[in-house]
Amino acid sequence: MRALSRRGMLGLGAGAAAAVSLAGCGGLTGSDDSGHADGSGGDSAQGGSKPKPKPTARPIGDGSTSHTGKQPHQPARPEPLEPGQTPPQFVVFSWDGAGEVGNGLFPRFLDLAKEHGASMTFFLSGLYLLPESKKRLYDPPNNPRGASDIGYLTDDHVKATLKNVHRAWLEGHEIGTHFNGHFCGESHGSVKNWTPQQWRSEIDQAKSFVKEWRTNTGWTDLPSLPFDYDKELVGGRTPCLLGQDNLLPTARELGWRYDASSPGGLQVWPTKRQGIWDLPLQQIPFPGRGFEVLSMDYNMLANQSLATTKAPAHNYPGWRKQSAQAYIQGFKRAYETNRAPFFIGNHFEQWNGGIYMDAVEEAFKHIAREKEKGADVRLVSFRQFTDWLDAQKPEVLAKLRTLGVGQQPAGGWREFTGPTSTPSGDPSRNAA
């Protein structure tokens, strides 16, 4: 199947859909004082008390990043489930690449999240903060110096990306990594073939482009990013969902807490691999089709228009509805049965007239309305979800893992999560 041209695309990354086997390619604002309705905004001022003074930024290194204190709009410290308690329904919306190229998609979804008190994860491609004039600073494993299968951004778009990453963190979102050059496929240079040592080089470079954007650009009139990236970065998603096996030893060495690179996951409670939480994109219902699709915009595209990004427009209304309903049905299946966390991946793209952006917004609003009607639905980042997992008792998580896709707990949640013995089976399955 013909591959999409990657030049200029924003950090595209997708795995194999169930029916189609292919890999996809996947001024700065201050803090807002409004809290997050799902508990992720515990830092806002209370009642008539005086607002907290904004912390003074303390530069790190060349001043590209800075210490600004605790991240705003984070949930209260997670507690373990009580016996007989129903687990919350966690939903994570995540974005690969996270570059802003003047189409307004990054701020569009920041605005949407802010309106509904949600947090998201933005997997930033390091190259999106590196000017093309300095591309030879990038030395990608098994590829020529300066090479990249995604385009470098213009200076204006680098500035726009900085602005939106700055805003995202202050509004409670997570900044992960989508690494750098997005090398996919079967070639020697593909991330699929990188060693753990080469992954370390790629990560070190991705971090350096974030931590040294001021030196690399020469810009002195823009504020620092308001976080320490060495501490902020605790997870990522690989290009095209390739190379996880060799990435994990390096991720563990670096103290990462999760990885979101597994292809073809199911809607079940997650496990750890090599000490790292494995949080994959998931197969979800695909309305009108006899197979399931991976929970990412590219995989909708792949099954609807065979990876063509500009199909005839008369298809768009039906495809938009089908994509939105896939996400909504995936959410509904988990919420009404095993309460497995629901992970959705996207790119800031305008494929097929922008229908996939409209679809994910429709699904987001549907899920947010359920939360606002009183359902225990939590729109969180991967990091926040990992915090919750780490607060749970291992035997409770082990029991949750016994529930299959769409399986309701026998006897209801009160009985299922009540005080019982650890389920039988291979204990290594639940090992950290």
- pLDDT of 423 over the 60 cut: no
Q: Write the single-letter amino acid at 195.
A: T
**Does the pLDDT at position 337 exceed 50?**
yes
Average pLDDT of span 310-317: 98
Q: Within 10 Å of residue 280's Cβ, how many Cβ atoms? A: 23
Block residue for tokens 């990435």:
247
Q: In this structure, are residues 233 and 82 in contact, taking their beta carbons and an 8 Å threshold? A: no
Which residues, 6 or more positions from 272, have their beta carbon under 8 angstroms from its beta carbon? 278, 431, 432
Q: Please, which pLDDT band fits residue 141 given cuts at 50, 70 and 90?
A: very high
Q: Residue 54: what pLDDT?
A: 64
- 88 contacts 377 by C-beta, under 8 angstroms: yes
* Exposure string over 340-370, b if 16+ CB within 10 A, otherwise e: bbbbbbbbbbebbbebbbebbebbbeebbeb
**Residue pLDDT, tens place only, 351-363:** 999 999 999 999 9
Quick check: 47 pLDDT over 50? Answer: no
- Which tokens go with 20? 């189609």
Question: What letter does residue 44 receive in the DSSP assignment?
Answer: S
- What is the amino acid identity at position 164? N
Instruction: Identify the pLDDT of residue 56.
Output: 81
121-124 and 89-97 strand pairing: parallel
Q: How many CB atoms lie within 10 A of CB 422?
A: 13
Q: Cα separation of 152 and 403, whole Å?
A: 44
Kindly tell me if the per-residue pLDDT of 30 is higher than 90.
Answer: no
pLDDT at 307 (0 to 100): 84
Is residue 16's pLDDT more than 60? no
- Which of 359, 340, 337, 360 minimizes the C-alpha distance to 280? 340
At 428, list the tokens: 């290594």
User: H/E element holding 276?
Assistant: strand 276-278
Positive or negative, the Cα torsion across 261, 265, 267, 269? negative
Q: Identify which of 24, 3, 2 has the alpha carbon closest to the alpha carbon of residue 14.
A: 24
What integer pLDDT is reported at residue 363 of this predicted model?
98
Cα–chain center distance at 106:
13
Can you spell out the DSSP letters for 216-255?
A: HH---SSPPBSS-HHHH---B--GGG--HHHHHHHHHHTT
Distances (CA, A) of 330 to 112, 258, 338, 339: 20, 22, 12, 11
- Please give the pLDDT value at position 38: 44
Percent of the chain clearing pLDDT 90 (strictly above)? 83
CB 95 within 8 A of CB 107: no
Q: Give the range among 8-12, 81-85, 195-199, 355-359 with minimum mean pLDDT.
A: 8-12
Q: What is the pLDDT of residue 365?
A: 98
- What φ, ψ does residue 136 adopt, rounded to 5°? -75, -5
- Contacts (Cβ under 8 Å, ≥6 apart) of 175: 98, 122, 124, 165, 168, 169, 227, 229, 232, 233
For the entire predicted model, the pTM comes to 0.88
Is 14 in contact with 294 (CB distance < 8 Å)?
A: yes
CB 17 within 8 A of CB 24: no
d(CA 296, CA 115): 23
Cβ atoms of residues 321 and 69 within 8 Å: no
> Which domains does the chain show, CATH number per domain?
13-28+90-403 (3.20.20.370)
What pLDDT digit, counting tens, does each position of 88-131 carry? Answer: 999 999 999 999 999 999 999 999 999 999 999 999 999 999 99
When mean pLDDT is compared across 39-43, 70-74, 129-133, 369-373, the lowest value belongs to 39-43
Q: 245 falls in which pLDDT band (50, 70, 90)?
A: very high
State residue 410's pLDDT score.
93
259-284 confidence digits (pLDDT tens): 999 988 999 999 999 999 999 999 99
How far apart, in whole angstroms, are the C-alpha atoms of residue 351 and residue 241?
20
Neighbouring CB atoms inside 10 A of 104's CB total 13
Tell me the C-alpha distance between 196 and 245, whole Å: 9
Distance between terminal CA atoms of the chain?
39
389-416 per-position pLDDT tens digit:
999 999 999 999 999 999 999 999 999 9
Considering Cα of 138, then 141, then 147, then 150, what sign does the dihedral take?
A: negative
Is 76 a residue whose pLDDT tops 80?
A: yes
Mean pLDDT value of segment 378-399: 98
